[in-house]
Amino acid sequence: MDISTAMIISAFVAAYFLWFRSITRSLNGPRLWPVLGSLPGLIENNGRMHDWIADNLRACGGTYQTCILAVPFLARKQGHVTVTCDPKNLEHILKVRFDNYPKGPTWQAVFHDLLGQGIFNSDGDTWLFQRKTAALEFTTRTLRQAMSRWVSRAIETRFVPILNTAQLQGKPVDLQDLLLRLTFDNICGLAFGKDPQTLAVDMPDNSFAAAFDRATEATLQRFIFPEFVWKLKKWLRLGTELSLSRNLKHVDEYMTNVISTRKLELTSQQNGVVHDDLLSRFMKKKEPYTDEFLQYVVLNFILAGRDTSSAALSWFFWLLTLNPAAEEKILLELCSILTETRGGGGDTSNWLDNPLLFEEIDRLIYLKAALSETLRLYPSVPEDSKHVIADDVLPDGTFVPAGSNITYSIYSAGRMKFVWGEDYLEFKPERWLSEDGKKFEAKDQFRFVAFNAGPRICLGKDLAYLQMKSIAAAVLLRHRLTVAVGHKVEQKMSLTLFMKYGLKVNVHRRDLAPILEKIGNYK
């Protein structure tokens, strides 16, 4: 190496480290390393990512900035990340400057093959049109009643018998897997009026469910690699991209058959069957929607509504095993309501032989509080991100450059002392109730972002509560659950906050006598 080359390299290295020193002073997040940026920290904390982000946010007052790779041409935009959980910032991002923070090109490119321009994966006018159309359906009482029917049917005919069998045999079951199957069957019934019956005693494989799961997993793998890498793999048909292509073909064939069959049924009104699923509702509208549009409506709805409820319920049942006082309060409320609606005297056969009615479920205020508290601590979607269109300044004074990404940590938002007080890590359903304990009091949507917030707040929020309350009540009335000996409960690092090893539980018979005695209903 000659002297001139060495001098150029030395000057380049010196210039880089001057730049690196300046950027480390301007960014207040986790430690930055030369070239690698915050990547070493991400790798080191891969198994506790959400808690690591929360730790950093606590140390930085609710917002921090970092760069994934400390490379000059990337650091300002693509590699620059702002992370926040401050409610004022969340309101600014999700409502006040909503148009400046869309899903963005990276997110849309990743999910396009699976979700197209569906409501979950679109921005601007495309999103707004679907949002307005779907909102008209989600506000109707008939859709909630349809959900209640699908949930009750699946609970009574399949879910409860499986738990009864586990109780009699004394064998543990993976409750998370059962809930995934149950909610998938429910959401498919509500979405397109067809029950795939993945929840059954023999735990059958369903080709559509399996293809949809594999396609979702393969899609999430795209987030690991830069866009050009997975696009090259897609072009060469390699690895997960080949799997994605094959499974999407199966999903497409299945949905094409469902849509064409439903069109014939609606045209001929066969056997006088009433179709009140979401697909049929869209088909009955005056607008001539394309088959592709209808397919994406259904798939977006399934993705948004299936995993979220099952994950939340898994954490809910686990939290109850750690908080027996809260479990007892849920049972006291449940038994008090059923005593009023179905009679008392200690005979609970009528309670167990017939599913809970819509009106009974609606009165379960403490149960809703417990589920909300679960979602505060373990939100089904722990992190979400937006693309920054134009330079902006957040309410806390943080400057965010155009072209960069901003992540809002839903998981961290529920675990900040400055938002929830000294008892922020406690499981405390009472924080959701009025002082007299008789009314459920919703929190500000920018403090509690488990259902998103602003214009994109979850349309299916009420349906989610209905399904979760129905399932929780059915289980708790009949069974007491304990975590199987030796089973580890850990978070799985994925788009949805699942348990890494499932939730293995032992199922015991529920003795309601002590509860009935407390409400003066046992004779």
Please report whether residue 131 resides in a domain.
yes
- Spacing of C-alpha 42 from chain mean position: 22
pLDDT computed for residue 86 by the predictor: 97
Please list, in sequence order, all residues whose beta carbon lies within 8 angstroms of the beta carbon of residue 251, skipping any fewer than 6 positions away.
208, 211, 212, 215, 299
Q: Which of 119, 402, 424, 416 is nearest to 282 (CA)?
A: 119
CATH of the domain at 271: 1.10.630.10
- Tell me the pLDDT tens digit for each residue of 302-349: 888 778 899 999 999 999 999 999 999 999 999 999 998 887 766 777
Could you tell me which residues are annotated as the binding site? 458
pTM of the full structure: 0.90
| 181 and 270 co-located in one domain | yes
Residue 270, pLDDT above cutoff 70: no
Between 414 and 266, residue with greater pLDDT: 414
Q: Based on the fold, state whether residues 337 and 233 are members of the same structural domain.
A: yes
CA–CA distance, 102 with 110 (Å, rounded to integer): 15
Q: What is the pLDDT of residue 502?
A: 94
Specify if 523 maps to a domain: no
Give tens-digit pLDDT for 451-497.
999 999 988 898 899 999 999 999 999 999 999 999 999 998 777 89
Residues linked to residue 386 through DSSP beta bridges, in sequence order: 406
Q: Tell me whether residue 12 is in a domain.
A: no
pLDDT value at position 440?
Answer: 93
Q: Is residue 140 part of a domain?
A: yes
Tokens 């923070």 sit on residue? 101
| Beta-bridge partners for 84 | 63, 408
Has residue 476 been placed in a domain? yes
Same domain, 105 and 186: no
- Asked whether residue 271 falls in the same domain as residue 184, the answer is yes
Residues 353, 442 within the same domain = yes
**Which of 413, 432, 457 is a domain's end point?**
413
Give the contacts of 276 (CB within 8 A, at least 6 positions apart): 142, 143, 146, 193
Would the pLDDT of 17 be above 50? yes
Same domain, 155 and 104: no
Q: Do 481 and 504 fall into the same domain?
A: yes
Asked if 241 and 130 sit in the same domain, the reply is yes
Instruction: Indicate if 295 and 427 belong to the same structural domain.
Output: yes
Residue 394 domain flag: yes
The pLDDT value given to residue 77? 53
**What is the model's pLDDT at position 73?**
61
Q: Do 245 and 261 belong to one domain?
A: yes
In a domain, 4, yes or no: no
Choose between 78 and 512: higher pLDDT.
512
Q: Do 246 and 184 belong to one domain?
A: yes
Binding-site residues for heme sit at 458
Residue 272: give the domain boundaries. 116-379+414-518
User: In terms of domains, do 48 and 81 share one?
Assistant: yes
CB atoms under 10 Å from CB of 480, counted, come to: 19
- The 3-class SS string of 413-452 reads HCCCHHHHCCCCCCCCHHHHECCCCCCECCCCCCCCCCCC
For the chain, how many structural domains are there in total? 2
- What is the domain-level CATH number for residue 34? 3.30.43.20
Q: What is the pLDDT of residue 400?
A: 93
Does some domain include residue 16?
no
Cβ–Cβ under 8 Å, residues 464 and 316: no
Per-residue pLDDT tens digits for 357-374? 888 999 999 999 999 999
Top pLDDT among 75 and 396 is at: 396
Q: Taken in order 495, 501, 507, 510, is the CA torsion positive or negative?
A: negative
